[in-house]
Structure 1
């Protein structure tokens, strides 16, 4: 039940014989969701023992949804209805010695609960698969589960809880090689796991074979990129950066519009995730950029990025090639910095993904 003990001042009505306090305001969680218990309280003066009814405005009329006997105070509980915005009031019923009295109204917003999540499109077998997301409205400590579709049935694999803001993180160890379908679910007011996200497919790839060589490009000096300071900060910086709560070590952040890396004779695969870096206020609104990836001058990837809430995985076959070049074009305004999440070149051959030479927005 919500805690409803905000101060309420008395409202004098036409009758001088009875006064009823206004319906107390909310100080607990809001907005509400269907099925939750709403608690209202107030006070009655001049007529101890009066019957107080709680009413909700619906279909152009006031409908009684609860009642209580009021001495100096009263309390009534009711269930939140379907999504919408509602008005509530309290009425002290008339008696042989007192006329009726009506409180001021209070508004309550009821929304349909929802849950969303994000994850990488692929993960190596045996590695941790991390899924992050958020639920609305936020209900701290309410359970969240990760489900996988196995045949005709959904199977629970991991469980966590919502934070004070509704966010959550779930992790599992990637299992068998192949495509896996996941979704996340959270409880409703009646404790059933009926709030469900959309399905997401994650591909589990073979684990890296020991002996393959890998080079993190954050440890390599790029070809032809400026390295220094601008009025906004570093022109080219490396380190650990965060996208939607996930840490990406050995990453590259740059304002350079074009830079290249030497691949090396043993290179087979170039992999990274393309993103826009948040500003100093860590907002999700970004200056749009078109980001292109070329291998020895041949365009392999072209993406329009407009927000900073998503990393776009890219894996390219670079066997027999010598350079990979990343370039970007500002679409509007100043443009956000380009972020390469953990870019790496490896001698291991991996399936290509994210290849696209037609500008495709990622929002």
Structure 2
């Protein structure tokens, strides 16, 4: 068995891409997208019809130019999501606009709008995860959405307080960003890298996984944003891992043994103290973690910037039609 096939026996593998061909090639259970991936995919000629259909949908259903742009963006995300769900047997993660990261009510409305579009396409809520930034406001929005039957993937997660608050809110899944944590520490400590078992991103996810399993949380942990296959292998046994096509290919090309590193049964026996974070403690804990504070803010800015790029691209397509 390849390393990828071995990994699939202990971890649910998710494709981190908007490219349908890559998803089909590696047969993951789920797939996840974000504005950066959608912007890249939308420019591929083979997906031009999906973009044009979204643009025309926005023109027909919305009023002024701003409303048309917002509806077009939602429809484009859903168009890609629907196509992905024709390939994967599980769920697709669809991102809520990063500019709503500090707007609880706006996030809830946007998720409802996206779900309405999915429903119109014949897709039920059991097949969709709404990606929401792990801000205090985002977590509160996800808590309410979960109660309404809309499942959430809390993204841009870099710290233990974020993870605990998400689990206490009852969210379906979290996506701690392994590689971006590594990036920050490499820069801060001026080092070329770390052994896989000392990788700061790997250690962060391991701590969160063990805490969740020790206290019986239902929230799933999905390691994300990997920089190398060693990080992935060090998290073998994690609930989910979302992996880019280049790293999926690397894992598929090797048949070396993949030992389990994370074990929920072992975690249940660990001496771990239970903690809780109200809003004040959450904000203070995040503030005290320079890496998490900086990477959360930077991630929101990056996703917002790529959303603007995608909006401009959609407007160019609209003008050309």
Place the TM-score, normalised by the shorter chain, in its bin.
Answer: under 0.3
TM-score by length of 1: 0.21
Higher strand share: 1
Which structure has the larger Rg over C-alpha atoms? 1
TM-score by length of 2: 0.23
Higher helix share: 2
